[in-house]
Each structure stands twice: as C-alpha cells, then as structure tokens.
A and B are shown apart, each in its own frame.
Chain A
Amino acid sequence: MLDTSKTWDLLVVGGGNAALCAALMAREAGCSVILLEGAPKHFRGGNSRHTRNLRCMHEEPQDILTGAYPEEEYWQDLLKVTGGLTSEKLARIVLHHTSSCRPWMMKHGVRFQPPLGGTLHLSRTNAFFLGGGKALVNAYYDSAERLGVEVHYEAQVTDIEIEGDSFKSATFTLGGETHQVRAKAVVIACGGFQANLEWLEEAWGPAAKNFLVRGTPYNRGDILKLLLAKGAKQISDPLQGHCVAIDARSPKYDGGIITRVDAVSLGIVVNKNAERFYDEGEDFWPKRYAIWGRLVAGQPDQIGYSIVDAKVMGKFMPPVYPPIRASSLRELAAKLELNPDALEKTVREFNAAVRTGTFDHTIQDDCVTEGITPAKTHWAQKIDTAPYFGYPLRPGITFTYLGVTVDDKSRMILQDDKPCKNIFAAGEIMAGNVLGKGYLAGIGMSIGTTFGRIAGEEAAKHVRG
C-alpha cells in the first residue's frame, strides 16, 4: 500500500492540528497528499489532542462567542504578553484568520461548544471544541480519509533532503524499515522539542531532569534540529516556552490539562526548605500560572508545595489528584517530607503578617500581608483551620518556542533571509514567530490553524501553479 516510487504533490510531516489543516487545504486544492505521523494511531494528534479552544477575533457576538474581541484588543493582548517579541505582520495574519476560519473547521467536522464550567472568563475570546482537541483531531483525520489523503502512523521522519532552497525527499521509518518519499513540496508541522529531555537539559541545565512534559512524548524536535543545521533561520531561543506548575504526581508525559493545581493563589507555596518564595496572590491564577513553572524550576530540586487549609477547600477547580491531608501542620509537613519546625515557623510568620480584609476569591480582594517578604498581595488568609491540605508541584512544560523563521506564505526562511521554494512550516515549529515569549490562552491553535491552512494553500499553488 505504500508506493515509494511515486512523487507526491505534497508531503506533510507531523499529524497534529497544523499538519492536518495543511493536508486538508492542499487536498481540497487537488493535490495528492501523504501525511506521516510519528505517533501510533491511538496517540495521533500531538499536543493538539490535549487542547480545548482557539482564540478568535470577532467584531460582534458569534454563535458561541459573546461580545466582541476586536483586532486591536487582541493585538494589544499579544503585545503585552510577548513584550514585543512578535512579528506584527504575521501576528495580524493570525488575528484576521481566526475571525473567518471556523466555518471551514466546521465543514471538516469540528464542533464548538460554549465555554466549560470554570472557564466563563474565556467566553468572549475563546471558541471551545466540543469534546476537546482529540475530537477535533479525530474529525480532521476522518475528513482527510474521506478526501483521500494518504495517512501513515508510526511513521517517524528522520531526514529531510534539501538542495539549496528546495526540498527533494524525506526519509522515514515505518514498521522497522526505512523508506524514502519524494514530493514536490513539504509542510513541516511536527511540533516543538519539549519532549526531548536531553535537549531541555542542554538549555535549562540539570534542573530539566525534574520537568514533566504535559503533552505528547513524540515531539522530540529532531526535524527542527536538522532544519536549523541545514540552514533554516532560527526564531526564539531554547529557553522560551510555556512552562507551568503542575501536580508533581503527574505522569512524565501526556498528563494533559488535568494536572493543573488551582489552589496556589488561595494559600501559600513553600519549597523543600518549607520557605515561601513568591507572592502567591499577585493576580488571578489563570493569569499567573504560566510563571509558576519557572518559579518552581528555580527552587532546590525543582519542587514546591501548595498548602491550603479547610477554609478555602471547594473554592477552586478540583485538581485531579486528591490533596495530601493532615489534621495538623506538623503532620502535613511529615507527609510532605518537609521539616515540621520549619513549616510551622513559615506559617506562624505568614499568619502574623496577614492583615484582616474581606476575603473574596472571585475578585482581587483586600486581604494582604504586611512586613513579610515575599508579600502576598491578595487572598491572604491565616492558615489556621484544620484539616490542612498540600499539593506537591513540579514544572510542567507545555511547548517550546524555538523554531524556524517563516514568511507570510508560511515558507521557511533560510539563514540568508531568502524563503525556500517548496518548504513550508506550520504550528508549534514556527509559533515563535508570533509568540516569542509569554502565552495567551488559545493562541497555539490559532497559529497552527492559520499557518497550517496557509501552508497547505501555498504549497498547492506552488505545485499546481
């Protein structure tokens, strides 16, 4: 069934959202398309299978989107989180695209739903997928199959042959054998390198050993490394990425969205010496959780413990792992393998610094500490009501931003700043062009959908003229 003598119009490397968007667009334009997904069928779809929404610009309410999210506001939000590390030209392409791509997505079987319980604050900006990202990925694969895209699973691409500014062929392994595939164009959409612990260690040092990878174990960045070695122009750097604090008991890979711990802002967080190290109440948790990965990564042994008491239980989204529970602080310290004297001291000092305010977890309330470093600037309440609860935290890496530079046609740019003729890149592997730093919920899928579709369309134009 695998015809290696054939020259395809388009080869798509990867099998997540960006890859599927490219494959579908090119197929719709009449190209013959082969898609090589490195993962087994059950785990197809990379990090995209873990997503839940994409961020959409819109001038007025749309089906499931409330209010308006105009271009300027979206752009300002992006500018703020990236601190300017973005290409305005490419970013605005994404924003525009998101205002009109959903009907196409729906045509290929993607369904949307109103925001989920606990995510109402996103009802204006983010369109949620019915059933989440895996349902989206399944719908795209079904559509691709119906349209006649040739899909292979467990097909790891190991080499890309480039001559000057042109793609010639790719090498991949399938069922223990090595094959070559020729195509008139290639779309590279095989994600970042966050599942490659050795590479993370090169960038982060030994601390990276304790990182957990929230998404797919198949995004190892081998092709990214290869492209950079073969003359692609780099974007962003290996330290940039999305890294959050997640439950330390999560699996090494693929724990997904559910390993979040939303208790942080309502209690205190200590390190393995039972000392606090950052203002837990700086802002609402969704606005802050992306900095806590780095904060925990900076602590000894890359571990932290979120500690709350009975008063705030039930006031945050229930985490997947039950808390470690104890009737006294000393007992909790013992269970968390912390020094009980040290934890008692930290809590005593914290409690003494708490100034009475009116606690309200739904607003930025006036409960603060005084005379303690670090301060807690909202939701500071004494930790004094048994039982006490602890959640161990580790850095969880979502995705990395290091990638290849692209132009507005999604063509890969070479180190001499010239675009390649027939090499396109889409998704996480080029997300750094738009998102050089920070994160905006739902932008990953926006970038992947936009540049995946553009890449497919442009590849088709290149091939079919």
Chain B
Amino acid sequence: MYAADEKPMPLDALIEDAQRVLRVCNACRYCEGFCAMFPAMARRLEFTENDIHYLGNLCHNCGSCLYACQFSPPHEFQVNVPRLMARVRGETYRRYAWPGFLGKLYDNNGVAVSLISAFSIALLFWIAGALGNPDRFFAAHSVEQGSFYALMPHNLMAGMFGAVFAFAMVALFMGFIRFWPYMGEELADFVKKPLAEGLHDAFTLKNLGGGGEGCTYPTEQKSFARRIFHHFTFYGFLLCLAATSVATVYHYVLDYPAPYPYISLPKLLGTLGGIGLLIGPAGLLWIKAKRDPDLAYRSQDGMDAGLLVLLFMISLTGLGLMIWRETGAMGTWLAVHLGFVLALFLTMPYGKFVHGMYRLMALVRYHLERRRPVPGIAPE
C-alpha cells in the first residue's frame, strides 16, 4: 500500500511509506530548487515521525515535483510527494486538535459540517428574533436607529462571539504549544529573526511558486493562479479581521458604536476584505474543480471546500447585510451572516483553518534550522 493511492491507510503505514518516499527523494534531490521542503529533507539522513510532520507542513502542495518526478506512478517507486504530504498534514491536524477527542471531527465532511452548523445557528438566531419580537425583527431600521443593534444588543453579540473566538484561539494555541516542541525546538526560539522570515514566506507564499515559475494549478502548465487567489483569500480575511478590530476599538475606546457610514475605516477595510473573500475562495474552488486529482488526497477536498464555502458565504452575507441593512430583510440577513461567522469560529480549530498556523511554524523552523550546520557527508 502506498500514500500515492487514494485508499485509507493506518498511520503507521503512512509514516513508513513517507520514510520510503523520502529516502528516494533524498537519494535524488532533483527537486531541491522548487521549495523549502527539499532542502530541509536534504539535511537529514533518516526521517523520524517528527521530521515527517515537519516536512509535511513545509510542502505547499504546489505540484511541481510530481510532474518533474521520473518515479511518479505508475513507476514502481510510486513517488507522489504532494499527495503524500497532504495526507501527513491531515494527520498533523488530527493529532494536535485540542481537546484531543475533537480531532475526530476531521473524519467528517467539512462542507456538510460547515453548512449544517452555519444554518442551524442562523436558524436559532432567526427563530429567536422572529418569534421573540417579530415586529422589530421584520421592520426596517435606519442607520441612525442603530440598525442591527436594535435587534441584538451589542454586548450580547460581542460577548457571545468573543467567547467562541477566544475558545478557538485557545484551541489553536494548544496546537502551537504542543507542535513546536514536538518538532524539537525551544519555545523561546520561536520569537527570533526566523519568525520574521517565516512570516515573509507566509505573506508572499514564496513556496507556492514552484521555484519561481508558478505551480501546476489549475493545469500542468505553471501559473500563479493559486497563489493569487490565496492572496485574495488570506489578505481578504486579514482585512476583515482588521475591520472588526478597528470597530471594536471605536466602540469600546472611542465610544463610537456601529453602524458606520460607507466612508469609514471599518467599512472600507471590511468592504475590501469582503471582496477579497468573494474572489479568493471562488477562484480556489474553481481551481479545485479543474486541478489534476493526483495532486491531492481527495478525501480532504471536503475540509478545504468547507473553509472556502464558509469564507465565501460570510463575505456574501456580510455584503448583503450592508446593502440591505435599512430594509425589513435586514433581520434575516443578520441571522444568516452571524450563523456563518459563528460557524467559522466554531470549526476553526477542527478544520482547514489550522493549516496557516502549522505552516507558519514549519516555515519558522525552516529558517531556524537553515542556520545550523548540515551533517557532513563525503564529497559525492
């Protein structure tokens, strides 16, 4: 059995197969210029389970090394690094989920989980609003009337979302605090110069570039499409996060509550970010539909698409809310929007979202390790 298959395999077999493939790559090294994974691999003579999780999270799934590989299936060596590493990352996510038993959530279909949670929460909000005070819920409120806070008091909203978000952050932090030492590093070393370099790589997605030519998405012909759509997604997300943060400061520090006019910092950030979160996830979904299935481990498609759909819907409903905030439909838009946002927060530590953190850690580790001497081998 090989990780190049689509069949499920026990963890031990996956690690063993990864060791086998990495031995092949390490004896070959032709792909050294594509990304950070190969130089990191070449520092090692043997591969422990820890190494494999580290290398797995360094691989950006750009696909270049699959097409360049003279040993890719159907060759009997069955070398398919992108799929292998995708499977390894799946194990990392499951293993470092906190609390541990929730790691099982990765076995479910991500899209279904995301949509079911989003719509159930939305329905709850809607029922609470519509049954609790239908007149208010279905009435049109002007911006001056405080629009959605007329329906849900700000403190209740902030408190509820803050609590869920805080829990997600704690859960993510628990992954961080365990994975970093697992890779064999000191916590104090995380916040050094390599952190800046790792962040640089994450913000530019340098490794999602196949060594400068782009990656093999959506087709074997290299392009930067995937990196660009990820940038839309990533920066869109950051802008929305910034919008929320600015609004929180306005509210609590400057005593200037929402809603804000179209020309205001939170609105501008949020609108820009929202557009990014429409274009990015839509583009990534399109690529996913078109790409060579050999590049991925297909049972993870649900996990990826789950996050993509949530992000897209958050943005779509957010923009809808903004446009129709002074109409009677506002209550319904609000319920659905909040449903998606809360679903994102809830599923954050148990879905695709965690990739950003593990990837960043692997990148920082790479820059830490890069400075250390390589074990000496005979001149070849």
Cβ contact within 8 Å between A258 and B34: no
Cβ contact within 8 Å between B70 and A256: yes
B124 touches A (CB below 8 Å):
no
Docked complex Cα distance between A121 and B375 (Å):
17
B76 touches A (CB below 8 Å):
yes
Cβ contact within 8 Å between A131 and B380: no
User: Most A CB atoms within 10 A — which of B67, B212, B213, B379?
Assistant: B379
B65 touches A (CB below 8 Å):
yes
A153 touches B (CB below 8 Å):
no
| Distance (whole angstroms) from the CB of A73 to the closest CB of chain B | 19
Q: Which residues of B contact A129 (CB under 8 A)?
A: 30
User: Most A CB atoms within 10 A — which of B29, B46, B211?
Assistant: B29
Nearest A residue to B75, CB-CB: A254
Q: Which residues of B contact A113 (CB under 8 A)?
A: 32-33, 211
Docked complex Cα distance between A315 and B379 (Å):
9
Cβ contact within 8 Å between B68 and A260: no
Cβ contact within 8 Å between B221 and A142: yes
Range of interface residues on chain A?
35 or more
CB-CB contacts below 8 Å: B286-309 with A: none
| Distance (whole angstroms) from the CB of B211 to the closest CB of chain A | 6
Cβ contact within 8 Å between B76 and A317: no
B92 touches A (CB below 8 Å):
no
Cβ contact within 8 Å between A52 and B30: yes
Cβ contact within 8 Å between A362 and B28: no
Q: Which residues of B contact A315 (CB under 8 A)?
A: 376-378
CB-CB contacts below 8 Å: B323-380 with A: 374-380
| Distance (whole angstroms) from the CB of A3 to the closest CB of chain B | 27
Docked complex Cα distance between A321 and B74 (Å):
20
A67 touches B (CB below 8 Å):
no
A176 touches B (CB below 8 Å):
no
Cβ contact within 8 Å between A42 and B74: yes
User: Most B CB atoms within 10 A — which of A49, A142, A318?
Assistant: A318
Q: Which residues of A contact B74 (CB under 8 A)?
A: 42
CB-CB contacts below 8 Å: B30-52 with A: 30-34, 39, 42, 45-46
Q: Which residues of B contact A387 (CB under 8 A)?
A: none
Docked complex Cα distance between A429 and B25 (Å):
30
A310 touches B (CB below 8 Å):
no
Nearest A residue to B31, CB-CB: A131
Given A130, A132, A262, which contacts B380 in the complex, CB threshold below 8 Å? A262
Ranked nearest first, the 5 interchain pairs of A and B with the lowest CB-CB distance are A132-B30, A131-B68, A113-B33, A258-B27, A135-B68
Give me 8 other A-B pairs in contact (C-beta within 8 A), A117-B374, A130-B211 excluded: A116-B32, A117-B39, A121-B380, A131-B64, A131-B65, A131-B68, A265-B378, A286-B380
Offer 23 A-B interface pairs, CB within 8 angstroms, sorted by A: A111-B33, A113-B33, A117-B42, A118-B42, A130-B34, A131-B68, A132-B68, A133-B70, A134-B30, A134-B70, A135-B30, A135-B67, A258-B27, A259-B27, A265-B378, A284-B379, A286-B379, A314-B45, A314-B375, A316-B377, A317-B377, A320-B27, A321-B23
Chain B interface residues toward A at CB < 8 A: 23-24, 26-34, 39, 42, 45-46, 64-65, 67-71, 74-76, 211-213, 220-221, 374-380
Chain A interface residues toward B at CB < 8 A: 42-43, 49-50, 52, 111, 113-114, 116-121, 129-135, 138, 142, 251, 254, 256-260, 262, 265-266, 284-286, 314-322, 361-362
